[in-house]
Structure formats: C-alpha cells, structure tokens
Structure 1
C-alpha cells in the first residue's frame, strides 16, 4: 500500500498544499525546464505538466521518444534539465556522469500487458500455456518493433521466442514504431495488442486484459534525474519532487502506472 492508502483525504490535501508551497519557494524565479522522457509516460505527464506549471510558474518543454533513442542521444551529448527513463538505463547513464550527483529518484513503474478491443472477449493469459494458445488463436497481434528499441517490444519478442511460436505468428504480426499497439486494437486493426500498461489504459476503445503471466512478465521502473549540465537545477529538482510526491501519485495510478 502506498502513502495514499494510509492517509485521509484531508491529510492528503494538506500534504499536497505543503508540497506545492515548497515547490513555489524553490522556483521563485520561473524557469523553462527541458524534459526528455519515454513515450510510456505521455498520458500521465500530459496531465501532470499543467498542474506543475500552474503551481510554480515554470514552463515544461517535454520531448517524448523511445528509451533506446533518448539513451543514444544523451550518450551522444544531448542534454536536458530532467531525464526520465527506465532505471537500468538511468543507472548506466549515471556511470557516464550524465546526471547531477545523487539526483536519481524512482518515479513510477508499468507492466508489459495484453489488450483487446473494448467489448471483445478477454483471451486467457493466466499462464504461459494459456497465453501461447491465445496468441496462436489470434487473427492478428500488434506490438512495438523490437528493432526500434521500445522496452515492451524488446521484451515481448523474447517471450514469443521463449514460447516457441515466432514462426507460427509471424504472418499475423504487426509491428509499430512505438506506443501505437493499443490504438490499432481500439480501431479494430489488430485483435490482440501488447504494450506497457500505461500505453493501454488511457486509450479509448482498448481494454486491458492484464500483465503477462508469471515469469514471462516484466515491469519497467522509470526514474528521473537532473541533467549534469542543467542551468535550471533547482527548478529541475522541484519537478522531480512533484513527480515523486502525493499530488502525482493518483494521476500515475489512473494511467496504469504504480508510483515508485
């Protein structure tokens, strides 16, 4: 249970008020904060960004892309005030001194999950064998192209190989460049989709079946850090405090993420 389950609504409101007050103090001079983050956090950050901007006066400029793409860009020298990527990648970049010291903080996690069109019968994915049968029975399956580096696509490709059905479903597989699997399912262009829970829950017309079963499952934990060359480090710190605080937690949960 998170802190949200342990405090009353009145205490939550008070905590949120104190947090916003603290943020406002930290960002007395409004700043522009460049953020680079995974597409898996798009729906949550699109809702949270205006709340943070209203509370602080700061302006967020958010760039979304695949984890692998942002990782490559940062290694090549691109920088941002706040970077939010999967924890293993963040730890790797920290070893290359890409972040301010001791600035990494866990934000939220999301599982690789299955989706079908709203109203359609939910396939059985309760075990590895059940998942295998459902995938073999599906007319079409869509997930992120693993060659593009999306975390869910890379993982699911390994799952398909492990189940031993890669050749059998190849002709019925649709690969998308990023987080579009749930959109295609919602439009009826694919029967089963696989992606991050956070990429499924916000999509109208798509229903979440559930995470991949047992040891086939994977949870991506996202973490944030301040860029080593940030010229707005105090404002960046206030954003990370906001994203890891009580105001952001229910928004993350509503978008299929678990607060970190």
Structure 2
C-alpha cells in the first residue's frame, strides 16, 4: 500500500510537470515553436519532440518490455543519435500536430504506469527501473527541457516541491556521472543539504560525512541537468571529491553533452 501511494504521488507530480510546460508552449504560434533554444541546433519544437519521443520509448518499455529490449541500442553514441533523430523528425511536424501527439503520449504513459502491478520493473537505457523510477525520470527530463524553453523566452519559473525528484535522481546518479566520463567514482558517501523552495531542507547521505554539498535545491537541480554552469549557482562543495562532482554532476542517462558556459555577466544563463 505504501508503494502504491508513492507511485500515485509521483505520477501526479509528473502530470503537473507536463501541464506546466504545456501551458508555456501551447500559446506559442509557429514563430515561437521555431525559436532557437539554448541547446545548440534545437528549437522549441525539438525540445517538445524529444520529450514526445522519449515518452514513447518509456511507454514501449512499460507495455512491451521485450520489444523495447529488442530495439535497444548498443552504446551511448547510438543512443545520442537516436535522440537527435527523434527530435528532428518530430520538429518537422506542424506544431499543432506535435503538441497533440505529445499530449496523447503523456496521457498514455501516465495510464500505463498507473496500471502497472506493484513491484514491476522495466528495461531502460541502463539498469531496469521501477514504476516510480520511470515516472521520476520522465519528470526530471520534462522539467529540464522546460527550462530550455523558459530560458528561450526569458521566463523564470517558480521552483516547486517537484524538484525533490530531480534532486534525488542527481544524488543517486553521482557515481554514474563519474563513470560516464571514464572517471573512478569516489569511495566515500557525501552529505548533500539543499534549501527547498518552501524553506525546508532536503538532506541526503550521512550527517557526519566529511565531504559535503550545500546550496539551493533549484541551483543544484539546474546544475545536475546541465542547464547552468556551476559558476552561476550558489551550490558549494566541501572536499576535493565533492568539488569534482559539481563539475560533472548529471541526473540523466547518456552522454553529458557540452553543458552551459558561464554567464557573461556572472548571473544565471
């Protein structure tokens, strides 16, 4: 019962995150959908098309795990190529059709995840994931690409408690962030303390850990989805390995990409 309630809670957060981005892109006309975003070569349409493509992959993994596994690529380069191809194909659609397809895919994925039996696990680009983990991953990516769209138009979205999902993924993906760059993960655990949007504190890791990361949850999440350079955040590290982590932190699977350059004026990019 606890697991069911936890899944329902993250599914509601995933729904809300999708609706928040939907409200940002739906009023845009053709010119807005064709606007270039901070991701080089990607328009707003590319951002939404990428989410629609990845939602579709997640839906396949939930509905047809064997079919997903049969289509699974072999390495990160192949995954990156598939992502780019999916985004480009979707971006070529009329924006109204793309928007409708993205909405339908979001609804179908939410329905499929809600109907999954307790304890189910699904294949993905890495270790198999639970229902809650699939939903959390989709929320993280929806929020991250929503930041790209928001930055395109100079919109500053108020952070919400939904960021706790992004922060948790980033903390759990610490060792992956090192490994995907061919670096040995640190041997010891870190303490992470993040100032939540509601004034509370989100904590991870042992309280007495020698190496620590502290700062606003929003800044940490922006850093972990590589939408801000660390120099443009108020996230701070204590200890050499924790400091190194802030330069490689990554909450998503696949190649790290170029990330954001420091803002020219020292502010947020």
Taking structure 2 as the reference length, the TM-score comes to 0.24
Higher strand share: 1
Bigger-Rg structure (1/2): 1
Q: Quick one: higher RCO (CA 8 Å, sep 6+), 1 or 2?
A: 1
Taking structure 1 as the reference length, the TM-score comes to 0.24
Higher helix share: 2
